[in-house]
Amino acid sequence: MPDPSATHDSVVVFEDVSLHFGETVALDQVSFRIDRGQTWVFLGEAGSGKTQLCKVMMGLVRPDSGRVTIFGEEITSKGERDMFAIRSKIGMLFQESALFDSMTIEENVAYPLENQPVRHCGREQIHDRVVEALRFVELEKTLDKVPSELSGGMRRRVGIARATVTAPPLAIYDSPTAGLDPITANNIMAFIAKQRDLKGTTSIIVSHRYQDGVLMANYYYDEAQGRLVAATGDRLAAVDTTFVVMRDGRIVFLGPQTELEASTDPYVSKFGRR
Amino acid sequence: MLDLLKPSFLEFQEFFYLAGRALKNLFRKPHYWDDVLLQMDVIGVGSLPIVSLIGAFSGIVMALQMSRAVAQYGASSQTGTFVAIVLVRELGPVLTALLVAGRNASGIASEIGSMKVTEQIDAMRALGTDPTQKLVTPRMLALAVVLPLLTIIADFVGLCGGFLIGKFRLNISAAQYWNSAQQALVWNDVAQGLLKPFLFSFVISLVGCFYGMRTTGGTQGVGRSTTEAVVVSSVWVFILDVFITQIFVNM
């Protein structure tokens, strides 16, 4: 376990965080520290506490005990209204995209720009920012559509655009590839890597697919070629990826890819196989 | 016994917590006036046909029933009096509230409930808005304005329905019917006839929002909260009605 003492470079710090829902344990004494520019991949079975972990990070769920520090600010004792400023620094892609189905794609992506208390840009620039964010995920032609007209993969991409339109320094992706075919899933991961490598976003990916983590750990987005390329040498070291395996709300593994693949624990090695 | 009551008390407490927050938001920025207007349209204009229809029929039925009852005392000409009093004091507010509870408490609960189970409520919080402010307060405000207005319309249409029966079945002249109806009503009746829908509106909107917000368990959960919202709001409309009527009867 890393030393969870906060430095000015730490983006997310969890210290002995526990969360229960009645008898069920969602998180059990979870501690870790994520630094600026890192990529963290959380793996685990359904119900192992991954989604709740994201929600605690976002301040949507208050843990029963422990301390959570985001960008150097302790959030566990903050009220809902004080959270908005911190949340505006985090982009979050929800499990099923959670697009507002009564709004158009443009309104969906513009929502954080219009509603966050931190002003990101003037009213007249909102449209440009939305188009730019949608172009990033290659969906700039769907502005006037509503979410129900889009496929699952496209909705996920709109979700990414909405999460990153404010250019947040931290992005959390909750199961970005769940329920998608492998080709679409790889596409989605490419956009996440692109966001990370072009904007320098600290990225947290929650998934049950090991391939997603492998992609994030071994590839980077090359702007000149406009696609993901395999990272080697210095480049590979720069893609600083940590893997975490969770089980029943506990962290059972935390370390780099090589250690994960070498693990002999039957549960952990299940996630370390490609 | 205590264990049995505990969940209900907790539910009560949560409900009043939500109600308190929704009321407090009236005085806090930001205000979502667009949403208030939209809800007024959805709830008010949308309920107009059914409320008028039921209002007319209740007026007609009241007149028919009353005419037979008061004929025993040879007071058929007073039909307007009875229709007016029963309609304005009781049937107008309660029937309208029940209709709107059936139509809109369910609508509110299912809309917010679906948003809850698809994480849209969480997304709202994540993207910088307070769902109470954005969803609950506009619905509460819209219903508080619209329900008394709907009740007035239901009362009026009901009186017209009663008039049709008076005119064509009982041969009461228009002047006689409307005069007796007007004279029967005093300020006390009008006051309780408007206070009731105003208070019922909070029950309907807040109960609908409350059950929507605590929806869990997918589509099945949405169905469950919708049913609960209608049942609970209808029951509370009646309970509240008893208390308000009691107060006004004593005045």
Check whether A8 has a pLDDT greater than 70.
no
Structural domains in chain B (count): 1
**Residues of each domain in chain A carrying CATH 3.40.50.300:** 10-89+170-271
Nearest C-alpha neighbor of A249 from the set A28, A42, A29, A41: A28
In tens, the pLDDT along B196-243 reads: 999 999 999 999 999 999 999 888 999 999 999 999 999 999 999 999
Mention every residue, 6+ apart, whose C-beta is less than 8 A from residue A183.
none
Model confidence pLDDT, tens digit, residues B1-41? 778 888 888 899 999 999 999 999 999 888 899 999 999 99
pLDDT score at A2 = 45
Whether chain A has a CB inside 8 Å of the CB on B125: the answer is: yes
CATH class of A10-89+170-271: alpha beta
CB contacts, 8 Å: B127 with chain A: 87, 111-112, 115-116, 162
What range does the domain containing B110 cover?
Answer: 32-250
Does B8 reside within a domain? no
**pLDDT at A3 > cutoff 50:** no
- Residue B71 confidence (pLDDT): 81
pLDDT tens, B128-184? 899 999 999 999 999 999 999 999 999 999 999 999 998 888 888 889 889 988 888
Terminal CA-CA length for chain B: 38
- pLDDT score of A120 more than 90: no
Q: CB–CB of A55 and B127 under 8 A?
A: no
Cα distances (Å, whole numbers) of residue A107 to A98, A127, A134, A265, B235: 14, 9, 12, 47, 39
Residue A234 has pLDDT above 80, yes or no: no
**How many Å lie between the alpha carbon of A237 and the closest alpha carbon of chain B?**
32
A165: nearest CA in chain B?
A: B127
Whether residue B1 lies inside any domain: the answer is: no
Which residues of A fall within a CB distance of 8 Å from B124?
A: 100
Question: Within a domain: residue B13?
Answer: no
When mean pLDDT is compared across A23-27, A59-63, A233-237, B47-51, the lowest value belongs to A233-237
Residue B235 resides in a domain: yes
Superfamily of domain A100-167: ABC transporter ATPase  like domain (1.20.1580.10)
Encode pLDDT of A106-115 as tens digits.
Answer: 999 999 998 8
pLDDT value for A270: 85
Provide CATH 1.20.1580.10 ranges for chain A. Answer: 100-167
Q: Return the residue of A nearest to B117 by Cα.
A: A98
What percentage of chain B carries pLDDT values higher than 90?
71
The chain-wide mean pLDDT, for chain A, equals 88
Q: Which of B6, B25, B127 to mutate to test the interface with A (most CBs of A within 10 A)?
A: B127
Distance CA A113, CA A30 (A): 33
Q: What is the pLDDT of residues A45-104, one digit of tens each?
A: 888 889 999 999 999 999 999 999 999 999 988 888 889 989 999 999 998 889 999 999
Could you tell me if residue B127 is inside a domain?
Answer: yes
Task: Quote the pLDDT of residue A274.
Answer: 66
**Which pLDDT score, from 0 to 100, does residue A75 have?**
92
Q: Which residue has the higher pLDDT, A232 or A155?
A: A155
Given an 8 Å threshold on Cβ–Cβ distance, is B126 in contact with A115? no
Span A27-49, pLDDT tens digits: 999 999 999 989 999 998 888 88
Decide if B126 and A116 are in contact by the 8 Å CB cutoff: no
Q: Can you tell me whether residue B169 is helix, strand or coil?
A: coil
| Cα(B65)–Cα(B18) distance, integer angstroms | 43
Cβ–Cβ under 8 Å, residues A137 and A161? yes
For residue A104, give Cα distances in angstroms to A138, A155, A252, B36, B37. 17, 12, 42, 20, 19
pLDDT at A162 over 90: yes
Could you tell me if A94 and A157 are in contact, meaning their C-beta atoms sit under 8 angstroms apart? Answer: no
8 Å CB contact of B119 and A98: yes
The verdict on ipTM greater than 0.85 is: yes
Chain A touched by B34 (CB under 8 Å): no
